[in-house]
Structure formats: structure tokens, C-alpha cells
Amino acid sequence: MRQQRQTRAYQTAWFKRHHPAIFYAALINQELRVRNQDRMVEYVYDAPRNGVEVLQPDLRAATPMCQVVEGGAQICMGLEGLKGISSNGSTYLVELMGNPEHHELEEFLLAAAPKKLKNSLVVDMVEIGLMDSMVGVDPSMELPEKLHLRGRIIAALEHVNMWRKKCVDNPLYPSGQGFYNDVEALLKEKVTYYELRDLEKETNRRGLDKWTEALHAFQTFHLNLDHVLSRENEVLGMFVSGDPLASYAELIAGAGLVEFSSLEPRDHGDTCEFAGVISFVKQRTAKASKRQYTEIRVGDGTHSIEALVFYNEHIKEKSIAIGNVIRFEAKVEWKEGHTFVLRLRNVSVLGNLGALSRQSYRVGINCRRLPMQKILDAREEVLLSPQGDSPVYLECGGTVGLLRSVAMSGELQAYLDSLKHVSIVEQVQDFPEEMAS
């Protein structure tokens, strides 16, 4: 038996060294067959360290399972690696994209059966870049431009059913001007319709308000990086577009935190401080002791690691939730096969990626009308919030000073909105002329 294990270990090591792309594709697919997407992520992070580039699937050429790309130095993830896509769902998408006519966004949206392909899944695929080639995003573009183009389509998808009905009823749709422009024209048509009605009637006024607001929301929609990272975390279980901890840099600066990718076998038994984002949570029961614990997966942009949580006075259950950005102390355990497990000892929640708003705001705190204690309390809340693109100003008479730009979470917005003499105004996102055209 021992000799057999040694032989298998040698064969595995040889296969990994001489055929790394095939090796990692096989490991990933093995996990996908048992629907263990969270364990799969570990191999996705490990592959580049052994010379294998991992590519995100392009929906136009996607396959259900992970495939080795021609040339042998790259592997492309399969659709079943995405949370929310079942085996039947991936098969349906592959069959749908087998028709080249469906490679165009408008034809794809008309051909897809809403009962088989929910709009929320289409939004997910656009947000994380799986449909970039279908929405005009080129790999060479800078990230802000990519987010702008994806955001336009996401805004339009809010009204996809209205657009589909128009395409059935009116031979002029699709117009050939693009999905986004078609939806904008439909919303403007709705606004014009009610503007020409008798606005003395309440129903007409409500209709005008509804569609004017819908058009404004459509035209000012902005997809920000934090939201994309949140969706990557929930759908892919990893981060493709950037560092998930960048918005929290001020909160963890100088903390001497250890990156997951820097852990080595010699760190076994050490207790270190880390920061990361939770992507997976599952309740477990230990076989021997019958003690309940929580298994989580946490990533910091450099790697994804399994961690075990036993709740105590230092770790509360509400601290452990998908999307939570946490700073924590943990004991490092080295497992055979380049695998680590962390045993958490205490946890501090810095925020939640999913709570960060897509919309940016301008916030003004009127220092002349608020009591000093409320000003100090508001200042502390702002300074402890993650950095973002919503500027907060202190307004003292004719003097206006920028306190900080924050990512506007629902909790922060509700708190500021509860204070009198604080203005919160939506900002229209400005883009370079070549991007807006």
C-alpha cells in the first residue's frame, strides 16, 4: 500500500511538471463534477505559479468544462465554474451559442428563452466580463472604459422585456443602432407620450414621473469596480478585475498583514494576521466531537484559502457572511499538497463588497447648523468607511472642504440621511468623449 501511494505521488508530480495545463484542467474538472466550485478556486490560483495562464470563458466560444487552449500553456474556464450555472444551464448556453447568429447581443437576447436563462444571470455574465466580446469591450481597453460599456448594457437589461415586446410588435426593432440605443429611444418615447397627455390627470402625471425617473436612472447608471469585484467574488469565487482590499487600504495600512500567497510550509503552527473577503460559508459538524463549526473560503486577491471558524466571544456569527471584508488573526495549518487551512481566532469586519453602491453621490455636511457632537460623529463614520467615488464635504458658511471620498454603502447612506442639514445628491458620471459616443 505504501509503495502504491509513493508511485501515485511520483506519477502526479511528473504529470504536473511535464503537462501542467492538462494537470490543472483535470483537477478543476474533477471538482466541478462534484459541484465543488469553492475548492476549484484553489487550483485556479495555483496554476499560474506553475506556468499555466487561466483564462475566463468568452461566452461566444464557451464550453461546459475547463479546456486546454491550443498551444498548451493556457486553460480556459468552463461555464460550470460559475455559481448559478447548472450542468443543464451550461449545455443550453453552449447549444445557443453554437448558432453564429446568436453571437450578436441583440440576436442572443431574442433567441434566449427567459424561462431557461434568467435576466439576472445575463446581468451577472455582463458584469464579470463573460460577454465582453458581445458588448463591444476589447481586452486592450482600460478598466474604466470596460466598466462603462458593461454598465450601459446592464442599464438597458433593466428594460429587456419591454425591448423584446417592441421587437415582436414593430418591424423597425431591432433598429441596427445597438441594444443600448434602442432601449434609450423606447424610454424617451414613453416620456414624450406622457408629456403630450393631459397632465391635469393624476395618472398621467404619475406616468410622466415614472418614465422620466426611469430615463434618468438609465442615463446616469454607473458600474463601479467595487460592485464588479463583489459579483466576481459571488459568481467566480475569485477576483479578476482588481484588488478587493484596495478600498480598505487606509483601514489595514501598517497592520503587518500576511498575504495568502506568501505562506510556506514552514509557517505551519504560526499565528498571523490577515485580511480578505469571504466567498463561501457552510455549516459543518465535526465527526468525532460532534461540535459544530463553520467552514469558509476567504481570498485576498493573491490566493484563496479555506478557513475554519468556531464561534466564541471574539468571533460573532454575524461577522461571517459572503462578501464581508474581514481582518483576522488565525493559526496556520499546512496540509499535504500545497494546501493551507486557517483556524480563525478573532475577526474584525471592515465592510462588505456587496453593500457598496453602484451610484456615486455628493454629500454636504452643514457645520453651521449641526451640533458639534453630531459633526464629530459623522466625521468618524466617514473616516472609517472604505474609500470610493462619493465625496463628502464639510460646509461652513462660504468655506467648503473635502473630508474624504467614500464608497457609499446602504448603511452609511441611511445614517447620513437620518441627520438633519446633510445633503446627499446623486452625481452624473462623466466619461471621456470617445467613451460616451
Domains of the chain are 1-98 (no CATH), 242-354 (2.40.50.140), 359-433 (no CATH)
Instruction: Measure the CA–CA gap between 276 and 128, rounded to whole angstroms.
Output: 20
Q: What is the pLDDT of residue 433?
A: 34
Question: Which residues, including other chains, have CB under 8 Å from residue 106's CB and lie 6 or more apart?
Answer: 174, 178, 179, 182
10-residue mean pLDDT profile of the chain (437 residues): values are: 60 75 86 74 81 86 86 84 82 91 94 87 92 91 93 94 94 92 96 92 91 91 87 84 84 79 88 89 81 86 84 79 88 78 88 66 83 86 74 81 76 77 65 33
pTM, to two decimals: 0.73
- H/E segment holding residue 352: strand 339-352
Question: Which residues, including other chains, have CB under 8 Å from residue 202's CB and lie 6 or more apart?
Answer: none
- Cα atoms in the Cβ-side hemisphere of radius 13 Å centred on 383: 8
Query: Torsions phi, psi of 241, nearest 5?
Result: -90, -10
- Cα atoms in the Cβ-side hemisphere of radius 13 Å centred on 159: 25
- Asked if the peptide bond before residue 174 counts as cis, ω within 30 degrees of 0, the response is yes
Give the C-alpha distances (Å, rounded to integers) separating 49 from 16, 94, 244, 264, 303. 12, 30, 20, 14, 11
SS3 content of the chain, % helix, strand, coil (to 5): 45, 20, 30
Instruction: Measure the CA–CA gap between 415 and 393, rounded to whole angstroms.
Output: 16
Q: What is the pLDDT of residue 188?
A: 96
Give the C-alpha distances (Å, rounded to integers) separating 430 from 182, 188, 219, 304. 22, 21, 11, 35
Q: What is the pLDDT of residue 431?
A: 36
Q: Which residue, among 22, 24, 244, 236, has the nearest Cα to 130 in the 3D structure?
A: 236
Q: Is the dihedral of CA 401, 407, 412, 414 positive or negative?
A: positive
**What three-state secondary structure class fits 41?**
helix
Query: DSSP for 131-200?
Result: TGGGTT--TTS-HHHHHHHHHHHHHHHTTHHHHHHHHHH-TT-S-SS-HHHHHHHHHHHHHHHHHTS-TT
Instruction: Measure the CA–CA gap between 324 and 313, rounded to whole angstroms.
Output: 19
Instruction: Measure the CA–CA gap between 252 and 242, rounded to whole angstroms.
Output: 17
Q: What single-letter amino acid sits at 72?
A: G
Instruction: Measure the CA–CA gap between 296 and 278, rounded to whole angstroms.
Output: 7
Q: What is the pLDDT of residue 118?
A: 86
Q: In what order do the strands lie in the sheet with 67-68?
A: 53-55, 74-76, 67-68
Say what angle helices 202-220 and 143-157 make with each other, to 10 degrees: 160
- H/E segment holding residue 436: helix 433-436
Q: What is the pLDDT of residue 151?
A: 93
CB-based contact 305:341 (threshold 8 Å) = yes
Q: What is the pLDDT of residue 370?
A: 84
* Grid cell of 271 as nine digits: 499565528
Q: What is the pLDDT of residue 426?
A: 64
- 360 Rama sector, left if φ>0, alpha if ψ -120 to 50, beta otherwise: beta
CB-based contact 278:237 (threshold 8 Å) = no
Cell 509557517 found at: 267
